[in-house]
A and B are shown apart, each in its own frame.
Chain A
């Protein structure tokens, strides 16, 4: 059934609001989870209360959180209001514009960083089918199915890769516009790192493209989970580890967070940024983590199906629920990978810059090229 333009727009608007709500729920929870997970890994409690002492609203909140400490699992969620406190803090902080900064570029850089990070969600398939149907009494979109994706374009992966690499402009322009030494050094390092790891990242994602012969996100994720020859497990397995490592480097996360090496570079490219301008850099970094996790789960970890690396084809149809695609499988995989991001941060030390560059150029590019060739062989044999 062909939708009218108005229906397409309204439907897209509803889905976009849902996806943005997803981002704005997951990112603050991720910052909270980061504190708690790293805290528990290092045998301390992480955030347990918010500032403000014993009086007033904050006092009441702190009293509830003290009480929550008496119960085993619930005690983990003490300190949950910190993410709200963080948000309020970012919005109400004074906005400082460095005197020598290039004002327009300084202002533009966070937007350049964050718009691509959000826009890639247009091509991400959360569920390869119809999530539900609007009741007929709803105006304009009544009776129309809600897809598990915002749009289904046939160059989905190309769109994601192209747009995701725009983010580096935000980093390098923000660093340059600050007109300060630490941001400039951090921004240059970050840009060199991001473009170095972009090559193996793209190459590792080409292996799934070879195996499926498609760039459409939905087709790829479904095909990779169900329709592969058993040999495809090998290139998918290698590709996953190459991809996730490059993803860590692309998002400037530990162990590759050289741009934010606080012992050398204060805070990297966003040293001069304050308030919500910093907030958008922060938000785009965490959104990029979600994007990397979503791509890794969709293409390598079996996407919307139960088992990763193409093992799903061995699941018989009699397993019922586990033989079908589900939104929950996809989200669980994404959240697991986000947990891995935090886990790695708590576990691994930071790389040295020369090591970082040589790992990218000398190990990952050959590895992913060989992986491409293996994928080509598998595709040819199948």
Chain B
């Protein structure tokens, strides 16, 4: 586990760095807050509504599809590591897995889930 000590150290340093620079910048920067400055950017007009409104359902769809395919890469990784040892059996098995996956992939494609309108 000794190899993970430098990683922890790097995470700590990388986390401390922005705090240090923000502290430095707090000493240097001007501070003149005003209501107009703090209002959300809106191309010159006064904001009329909350920004957190409805947005396209497509984004959820992308997230769901991503989950499916990401789990698939998780399944592929152990085979990728052991492909030599698993030999022909592993190759055929992963071929079957990919074939089934391509079937589902073709289905979502034909349903239009991959087309962004």
Contact = CB atoms under 8 A, between A and B. Distances in A.
Contacts of A96: 33, 37-38
Interface stretch (A74-82, A244-252, A351-359): A351-359
B2 to A, nearest CB: 6
A180 B40 contact: yes
B39 to A, nearest CB: 6
Contacts of A140: none
A277 B15 CA distance: 14
B10 A150 contact: yes
A92 B29 contact: yes
Interface residues of B, number: 70
Given A99-B39, A206-B77, A153 B82 contact: no
Given A215-B81, A266-B41, A16 B91 contact: no
Which range holds the interface residue count of chain A? 35 or more
B52 A118 contact: no
B95 A12 contact: no
Contacts, number: 199
A180 B50 CA distance: 8
B12 to A, nearest CB: 10
A275 B26 CA distance: 10
Contact of A122 (B6, B18, B62): B6
Given A114-B14, A118-B14, A357-B62, A373 B7 contact: no
Given A115-B14, A362-B114, A178 B28 contact: no
Nearest to A184: B51
Contacts of B77: 158, 206, 209
B69 interface: yes
Interface stretch (A54-62, A192-200, A295-303): A192-200
Contacts of A372: 76, 80, 98
Interface string A146-174: 00001111000011000000000000000
Contacts of A12: 5-6, 9-10
Contacts of B105: 365-366
B83 A362 contact: no
A206 B14 contact: no
Given A121-B10, A213-B83, A215-B81, A179 B21 contact: no
Nearest to A153: B3
Nearest to B31: A94
Interface string B48-74: 001110010011001101100110110
* Most interface-central of B76, B80, B94 (chain A CB within 10 A): B80
A257 B51 CA distance: 22
Given A94-B29, A115-B14, A199-B72, 12 more contacts: A9-B9, A15-B6, A92-B30, A100-B51, A114-B18, A119-B10, A150-B6, A151-B4, A151-B6, A198-B66, A213-B82, A380-B91
Interface of A: 3, 5, 8-9, 12-13, 15-16, 20, 91-100, 110-111, 114-115, 118-119, 121-123, 150-153, 158-159, 176, 178-185, 188, 191-192, 195-196, 198-199, 202-203, 206, 209-210, 213-215, 266, 271-272, 275-277, 279-280, 353-354, 357-358, 361-362, 365-366, 369, 372-373, 376-377, 379-380
Interface of B: 2-7, 9-11, 13-15, 17-18, 21-22, 24-26, 28-33, 35, 37-43, 47, 50-52, 55, 58-59, 62-63, 65-66, 69-70, 72-73, 76-77, 80-85, 87-88, 91, 94-95, 98, 101-102, 105, 109, 114-117
**Closest 10 CB pairs between A and B?**
A180-B40, A12-B6, A354-B116, A118-B14, A99-B38, A199-B69, A195-B66, A151-B6, A361-B114, A209-B80
